[in-house]
Amino acid sequence: MSETHGRQRIRLFRAEAVVLRRRDLGEADRILTLFTREAGKLRAVAKGVRRPESRLAGHLDLFMRTSVLLARGRELDVVTQAHAVEAFLGLRQDPWRVGWAGYLADLTDRATADEDPQPLLYDALVESLRILASCADPFPIVRRFEMRLLALLGYQPELYVCPRCGQRLTPGRLAYAPDLGGVVCERCRNEGPSEIPLSVGAVKALRLLLADRWQELERRPLGPSLRGQIEAVLAAALRAHLEGPLPSADVASLLEQRDGGRNDGVSPASVAGTSC
């Protein structure tokens, strides 16, 4: 009897999760991709969630932080209970916020394996969604999440020592070399097509992101050129370790430009009442 009860206890488990993806199944069900703090990425079915009378529907929206009770299944787990913990309602106010939330979700999904717990990455995703729901300029928080993800997975770019000669970087004509995973010094630059030229300001900004001092970027004017260099380095670093492109980033950028998200190089802190 005790062995039977043990199996029953193991079959049901509770987890805190962010809903990364969802797709319809049949007439009333949905398959969800959940990024949980306790068990990593899981795929589960929410039965009957598309019916108007479903009690689960309001607790399993995209990008919502929710507490779920899951029953282990042969192929997919089953959501038996759900309770919203944090809805990030501000994300629904602007299409560009939804776009960038979708990019962070796609990035998390692409970078993680099933059932591989990454609690620090989970915390970073939750914090990023929370800030994204209310900030005026998504650039610092999106770039910070990219850098945080790279660092947590062991792929952070080398920003202090030239990976070719091993010498400490000094101001000069620097460049990011994706094949080496770091910034090369002026002497070691070969100006190949894959190298990304970097200003000293871009390297400093990347170091702030690596040190998790992203708030300092809010207090600095970030012009289009500087933003472009930072974005290019992180995109190249991510491409080196993730399979295929992430078109959701392009979609989010287009939505931001179309719907008035800040992309004009003006420091958010310089506009009264608009800092994150």
pLDDT (0 to 100) of residue 156: 94
- Please give the share of the chain, as a percent, with pLDDT higher than 90: 80
160-196 per-position pLDDT tens digit? 999 999 999 999 999 999 999 999 999 999 878 899 9
6-59 per-position pLDDT tens digit? 444 458 999 999 999 999 999 999 999 999 999 999 999 999 999 999 999 999
User: What rounded mean pLDDT belongs to the chain?
Assistant: 89
Q: For residue 203, tell me if it sits in a domain.
A: yes
- How far apart CA 128 and CA 85 sit, in angstroms, is 16
**Domain ends where: 47, 66, 87?**
87
Concatenated DSSP letters of 152-167: HTT-PPB-SB-TTT-P
Q: Longest Cα pair distance anywhere in the chain, in angstroms? A: 73
Residues 121 and 152 grouped into a single domain = yes
Residue type, 94: D
Residues 208 and 123 grouped into a single domain = yes
Residue type, 63: F
Residues 129 and 251 grouped into a single domain = yes
- How far apart CA 194 and CA 172 sit, in angstroms, is 19
Structural domain that includes position 176: 90-270
* Sign for the pseudo-dihedral over CA of 45, 47, 52, 57: negative
Contact 43, 32 (CB under 8 A): yes
Q: For residue 189, tell me if it sits in a domain.
A: yes
- How far apart CA 161 and CA 151 sit, in angstroms, is 16
194-222 per-position pLDDT tens digit? 999 999 999 999 999 999 999 898 888 88
> In this structure, what are the phi and psi dihedrals at residue 274, rounded to the nearest 5 degrees?
-120, 5
